[in-house]
Structure formats: C-alpha cells, structure tokens
Structure 1
Amino acid sequence: MANLTDEKLVEVKSINKWFGDLQALDDVSLDVQSGKVMVIIGPSGSGKSTLLRCINYLETPTNGQVWFNGERLTSDQRELNRHRAEIGMVFQSFNLYAHLTILENITLALKVVKKIKQKDAESIAIEQLKKVGIADKADKLPSQISGGQQQRAAIARALAMRPKLMLFDEPTSALDPEMIKEVLDVMMMLAKEGITMIIVTHEMGFARAAADEVIFMDNGRIVEKNTPDGLFNQPTSDRTKLFLSQILHK
C-alpha cells in the first residue's frame, strides 16, 4: 500500500501562524494532488497569501506541518533550498532585477542554483519565453516592457527551473485591466498542461475555468472547499454566499 504522501504533492496539516497577537492562520489543513490546480479565494486579510508563503516556508508556521513531495519541510536552510528549487513562486510585484535583461533575469537562477552553463541556460530561457509569448522581449530591460509582459517574464523565470509546484500570489492584482487577460491565458495554458498550481486570486472567472478545487478563506480559516461548480453555484456556508454575492454582482 502506498504511503499517503506518495499520492499528494502538497500536504498542509493543522498549521497556525501568529504575527505577534494577530493570528493569520487558524488550524489550516489542505492537500493538493500532483497535476491539480487549487485556487484560493477570500477577502483581503483572510490569510490567503500567508498560507501560500507558509507552503514554501517564506513564512515559518507557528505550529503544524507542511509536507512537499513526500518530505516534511523544516527550517533547515539546506533542505529548504533543495525543496524551493522545485517550487516556483510568482508574486504580485514582478520581482525582476531592473538592471538585467529579461533573458538575464531567467538565466541567473539556472546558472547559480542549477549550475547550468550559459549557452544551455539561454536555450532554456528562450524556450520558456516562447511559451509565454514574449521571446521577442528577451533583450529588453523590465522597464522597457509592459506590466503584463513583466509578469509573463516572471512566470517564464519560474518555469525555467522545471518546478514540481507553482505558487501564484495574486499575480494579476498589480496589472492594468487590459493586461490581466494575457497573464491569465498563460496560467490557463499551464493548467491544461497538468502543472500543479496553487493560486491566490480575485479573478473568479479564472477560478471557475481553471481550478480543480476552490477554497474560500476568511479570518485565517478555510470556510469551504469544493469543485468550482459546487462552490460558486451551490455554496453551503453563509459566509461564502455573502462573499460571492458581493464579488459576483458588482
């Protein structure tokens, strides 16, 4: 019989997170099967981004456990670095190095972390830039391209590391409305390719279309989780119903 963790890429077991007197996460548990897409929704301050950051130990849970790829994460830096090499994260802000070209932004981690030679790193980078539709921007600086293109470059940078898991923390929230679709289209493509993703977003249409499971959080807790159809069309919690009525009928 297979070990339970063999079937799941991510397991979060009863984690709590305190910032001083503020409890950001309250006994949160979830698991994500390999190849699945989980979307996390909820009001601002509900703990969504903190949960995402705890999954790759950018924030250390106050207590509880996080398992990735069958191994429990700890604060051991060497072990964390090994796991993080297999976890791509895309933030609200693009976090690109302003003084490096888009190509150099992508090849940097390949050379430093994975010890890949310059020529091979550039080949991988171009492949990923083609995938996200901006290969023609390889020699541009971040300031020379649009916000949507910068976020696609950030996605390409994460994909270049060949991660087992992709984390997205509200990746379109800093974008102008006309640029949101180009980023969501790339993420939809990744979902169809079977890349395991956990996504925090306010884009409900994307959540409906891309997710295998949707989680609604409020006050640091998971209030409800279901399929997109179940959560959006037949929510069981009054809190979920109120949130969706406010979001979907603006």
Structure 2
Amino acid sequence: MTDAAAAPGRRPLVVLDKVNKHFGALHVLQDIDLTIGEGEVVVVIGPSGSGKSTLCRTINRLETFESGSITIDGRPLPTEGKELARLRADVGMVFQSFNLFAHKTIRENVTLGPVKVRGVARAEADRRAMELLERVGVAHQADKYPAQLSGGQQQRVAIARSLAMDPKVILFDEPTSALDPEMINEVLDVMTELARSGMTMVVVTHEMGFARRAADRVVFMADGQVVEQATPEEFFTNAQSTRARDFLAKILTH
C-alpha cells in the first residue's frame, strides 16, 4: 500500500503535497505526498539519511522547503511572524535533546508556553502543568531543575510541555535516541498511552516495538522518498518493497 491518504473515516489534519527539499546538491525530500488524519499515529522509519527527521521538521517549519505545500488543519504553513508562532503552538515538537530551559524549574518549563503564547492565567497553567506532570510520572519533580532529572525524566517533561499547549498534533523526532537503554521504555510507555488517548502523532523512531504496538500506520522512507506505507501488521510481516525488506532484515535480526 503506497496510498498517501489518511486512514478511512479520519479528517485530514496534516497534508504534505509534492514537498521537495534540498541541502545543497542533496535532494533530501523528493515529492513527498503524505496525509495524516486526526487522531492517527504515524510512525516514520527508515535508514539513516533517508529524510525522516527533515520531514518531521518541515511540518512545523523548523526546516524550510522549496516546492510543494503543507497544510495543517486546512491552513497553509505560514512562513514567519505571528502566524508561524501560532502554528508552532498548534504543532507540538519533542526533540532528541530535550530542549528544556535549564534555568527554569520543571513546572516553569511546562507553564511558560501556555502563559506567554496562549494567554492562560498563571494559576490555571500551574494546575494543568501538575496534571500533565502527574500523567507522565514526574509530578514529584516539579520544583527541580532539568539538570537534576535523568534523561528519561527530562524527555517526559518535554512531552508534558508539548501537551500543555493543547496541540492539534505532536511531532516526535527520535525522542529516545539520546537516552540510556534503561530509560527508553519509560518514555515509550508515555508515548503509547498518548497514542491510545487519541492524540495525533508523527513519530520518527528506530524503536520497532513501539511502531508495532502504537502505530496506526508505518511510513517507510529511503533516499528522500516515501517508499511504502502500511499498517504495522502488513509492514512487518509482508513488506512489499525490496528496500523495506532489506531494512527489516538488517534491524530485526540483531
């Protein structure tokens, strides 16, 4: 299945149409067509250098692109200014490196966006922050600073910070790749719970177990192209393309 449409019955929320991006002579995104439906969990996998992270970063314009279009909830991606800031409030992002403000407490990291960008009252932002920190299992760390937390805890705070903005979609760019192995599952468990709650998610990851468990759809990229997309069951048991079968043979045998 290489159809770019969102799953049946889902309203299209993020639509990429013929998106192209170059880094110098390197054509990193080649005519990307991809539609992500509301409430859908799309996991993007593929070899290093396939364009996965670039794809993720173009959706909230951390990377520019040269041609094609991206719409979020029916509106074209703004290029700059207030409109772009508004878009970024609607599109959460969780990075490899947690990107927390080192000089602010965990609670302050989570309340900052809602207060400054959304205009939420401080008391309400505080209440919601504690609710979200509870949800990701770090409420007892609310008054500590990022450096006092483990990597897994910091990444869970980063997820809570994204959720505090009530985003329409959250992008995850290899959220566990900087973590020690024993911390990976605590972050994936939070992401799995989030997926089950109906959050729209685009997840770039090497964690195949998460893809099998939580994805509605697996998108396989190689050499800047979407080579194949299917349900996890179809993809992992019966990949159609040679490229995907080679990739799976390499990663699933180790």
Report how far residue 188 of structure 1 moved. Answer: 0.3
Report how far residue 106 of structure 1 moved. Answer: 0.8
- C-alpha distance in 2 between matches for 1:154 and 1:144: 15
1:198 aligns with 2:202: yes
Structure 2 counterpart of 1:37, from 7, 28, 41:
41
Structure 2 regions of 5+ residues with no counterpart? 1-9
Which sits farther off after the overlay, 14-23 or 147-156? Answer: 14-23
Q: Which consecutive aligned stretches of 4+ in structure 1 deviate over 2 angstroms post-superposition?
A: none
> 2:51 maps to what in 1?
47
> 2:185 maps to what in 1?
181
Provide the secondary structure at the position in 1 that maps to 2:14: strand
> 2:130 maps to what in 1?
126
Report how far residue 136 of structure 1 moved. Answer: 0.2
> 1:106 maps to what in 2?
110
> 1:210 maps to what in 2?
214
Report how far residue 114 of structure 1 moved. Answer: 1.1
1:68 aligns with 2:64: no
CA deviations over 1:146-171 (Å, ceiling 9, x no partner): 10000000000000111110100000
1:148 aligns with 2:152: yes
Structure 1 regions of 5+ residues with no counterpart? 1-5
Report how far residue 20 of structure 1 moved. Answer: 1.4
Which sits farther off after the overlay, 194-203 or 79-88? Answer: 79-88
Matched residue type, 1:187: M
- C-alpha distance in 2 between matches for 1:178 and 1:232: 25
Provide the secondary structure at the position in 2 that maps to 1:148: helix
Structure 1 counterpart of 2:25, from 21, 27, 30:
21
Report how far residue 116 of structure 1 moved. Answer: 1.6
Report how far residue 224 of structure 1 moved. Answer: 0.6
- C-alpha distance in 1 between matches for 2:131 and 2:78: 34
Structure 2 counterpart of 1:163, from 167, 176, 185:
167
Report how far residue 81 of structure 1 moved. Answer: 1.6
Report how far residue 78 of structure 1 moved. Answer: 2.1
Provide the secondary structure at the position in 2 that maps to 1:120: helix
- C-alpha distance in 2 between matches for 1:182 and 1:211: 17
Provide the secondary structure at the position in 1 that maps to 2:175: coil
Provide the secondary structure at the position in 2 that maps to 1:94: coil
TM-score, length-scaled by structure 2: 0.95
Count of matched residue positions in the alignment of Structure 1 and Structure 2: 245
Report how far residue 185 of structure 1 moved. Answer: 0.2
CA deviations over 1:177-198 (Å, ceiling 9, x no partner): 0000000000000011010000
- C-alpha distance in 2 between matches for 1:169 and 1:7: 24
- C-alpha distance in 1 between matches for 2:245 and 2:91: 33
Provide the secondary structure at the position in 1 that maps to 2:161: helix
Question: What percentage of aligned pairs have identical amino acids?
Answer: 56
> 1:77 maps to what in 2?
81
Matched residue type, 1:25: L
- C-alpha distance in 2 between matches for 1:154 and 1:87: 14
The answer on whether the counterparts of 2:170 and 2:201 sit within 8 Å (CA) in structure 1 is yes
The answer on whether the counterparts of 2:78 and 2:87 sit within 8 Å (CA) in structure 1 is no
Which sits farther off after the overlay, 111-120 or 49-58? Answer: 111-120
CA deviations over 1:115-139 (Å, ceiling 9, x no partner): 2222111111101101101100000
Report how far residue 22 of structure 1 moved. Answer: 1.3
CA deviations over 1:21-45 (Å, ceiling 9, x no partner): 1111111110011011000000111
> 1:237 maps to what in 2?
241
- C-alpha distance in 1 between matches for 2:178 and 2:126: 28
> 2:142 maps to what in 1?
138
- C-alpha distance in 1 between matches for 2:78 and 2:40: 24
Report how far residue 7 of structure 1 moved. Answer: 2.3
